[in-house]
Structure 1
Amino acid sequence: MGMTRWWRHAFADEGEVRAVLDAAAMARLTERVRASEARHSGEIRLCVEAGLPWAWLRRPVRERALAVFAELGVWDTEANNGVLVYLLLADRAIEIVADRGVMRHAPAGHWDAVVATMREAFRAGRFEDGLAQAIDAVDALLLRHFPLAEGERNPNELPDAPHVR
């Protein structure tokens, strides 16, 4: 691990997240998740982490995303159809973790394509747009495979607001 990476993580905090996603952006992302979940039985969770805790610096980002997936209870939905979109801001690393119910329906390369789209938006400094595109991509998959029946309501099993660490 290089000193530059250590430095980025050592001094990363929620203020850096707020610099790229202000309160208004967070509100719009929350509403986008809420509107999506009104159309299908899946659950979408966003997590934006400024930097990794010291103990995680030598481990793969995917492991951290899996730990956050478990910690936030995304795996614990009734139909096993939760999806976590994880952004590690210090590294600009993106991971999408989908529960087994969703993974049965995701074609090979699906999440890689979503991540590539997000990465392009992030490179341009459009963090809200990148996360909104990810929500829309997850929504399309969940709507196709877990639609709500006419008049059916989706109980909100997880918070809709992005989780900031």
Structure 2
Amino acid sequence: MAVKRFIRHLLALRSATRSHFPKSTLDAIEDAIRTVEASHHGEIRFVVETALDGNDLWRQCTPRERAIEVFSQQRVWNTELNNGILLYVLMADHAVEIVCDRGIAAREEAAIWQRICHDIEAAFSRGEFRVGAIEGIKALGKVLEQHYPGVSYANDLPNRPSIN
């Protein structure tokens, strides 16, 4: 186990995460999700975790592996058209991951998801958490609109971001 990573996660504070994502930012993220979902049949879920627990650190869980676990726990895979997307942030590792359900994953190149993650991480590194999250959601919305156009009436996943 990497000692630096363990210490970084141990010292990560939820209060710091909440200071980067205050209620006004969470409201803005929720509004952005609601707005972009109105133009397509896709679903977006936004989850932020402050740090990994001891078991995940001990088994050297990567941010990607944790994002896949959260994708399952949040039931993002359970959308009607298999077009759910998880936008996952792991604050202690300064990592952003996008996990897509099989419907949308089969229709789009992995490079687009990597670019969106990179753009969000760049905004976060400048301290622009609200801007980075909203611009990332808009970028995901554009991809979903290309592949699942039309007005969506179902809302399979909560629009409110989850902060843990």
TM bin, normalised by shorter chain, reads: over 0.9
Identical-residue share of aligned pairs (%): 36
Unaligned stretches of 5+ residues in structure 1: none
- Give the CA deviation at 1:153: 3.9
| Equivalent of 1:147 in 138, 146, 149 | 149
Once residues 155 and 12 of structure 1 are traced to their aligned partners in structure 2, the CA distance between those partners, rounded to angstroms, is 37
| Equivalent of 1:86 in 82, 85, 88 | 88
- Give the CA deviation at 1:9: 1.3
Once residues 67 and 87 of structure 1 are traced to their aligned partners in structure 2, the CA distance between those partners, rounded to angstroms, is 13
Structure 2 match to 1:138:
140
8 A contact 1:47–1:87 mirrored in 2: yes
In the TM superposition, what whole-angstrom CA distance separates every residue of 1:92-143 from its partner, at most 9, and x where no partner exists?
A: 0111000011112212411111111111101101111111121011100111
What RMSD over aligned residues (CA atoms) do the two structures have, in Å? 1.3
Letter in 2 for 1:158: L
Unaligned stretches of 5+ residues in structure 2: none
Structure 2 match to 1:16:
16
Structure 1 match to 2:29:
29
SS at match of 1:90: helix
Say whether residues 1:161 and 2:163 are aligned partners: no
TM score, norm. by length of structure 2: 0.93
TM score, norm. by length of structure 1: 0.93
More helix by share: 2
What stretches of structure 1 move > 6 A for 4+ residues in a row? Answer: none
Letter in 1 for 2:25: A
How many residues matched?
A: 162
